[in-house]
Amino acid sequence: MSVNKVLQLKADEQIKLTGKGEVYSYTIVTDAPEGFTEQAPYILALIKLDEGPLITAQLTDLETPTGPVEIGQRVEMVTRKLRTEGTSGMIIYGYKFRPVLA
């Protein structure tokens, strides 16, 4: 039996995540990978979710593309456009995090 060490769950158990957490660490990406070059510079952060796990996500809805951002800053998950793909222009959506709205 596999056990998730962070949440102490069995491999087949599920937990509902609130989508809220705090910035654990971050970097400013200036040399972005293919498919994301038009977004550079942008902030890529490790988010420590309130339930415990760490996930990687791009930060959005900041004053500027590079911040300001602080370690410990409260953030929440939002759905945003990630990129446009292929000749048909298919829009790919996914999760990003933004500062918690007051």
How many structural domains are present in the chain?
Answer: 1
In a domain, 8, yes or no: no
CB distance 22 to 55 below 8 Å: no
- Determine, yes or no, domain membership for 51: yes
Residue 57 lies in a domain: yes
The answer to the question of residue 11 being in a domain is no
Angle at 95 between CA 80 and CA 26, to 5 degrees: 105
pLDDT at 8: 67
pLDDT of residue 50: 95
Token pair for 54: 């760490």
Is 5 a domain residue? no
20 in a structural domain: yes
DSSP string, 24-89: EEEEEESSPPTT-GGG-SEEEEEEEETTS-EEEEEB-S-SBTTB---TT-EEEEEEEEEEEETTTT
List per-residue pLDDT tens for the chain, 102 residues long.
444 555 666 777 787 889 999 999 999 999 988 878 888 999 999 999 999 999 999 999 999 989 899 999 999 999 999 888 888 889 999 999 999 987
Is the CB of residue 36 less than 8 Å from the CB of residue 44?
Answer: no
The range of the structural domain enclosing residue 58 comes to: 16-99
CATH number for the domain including 75? 2.40.50
Q: Look up residue 51 and give its two tokens.
A: 């339930």
Between CA 60 and CA 90 the distance in angstroms is: 21
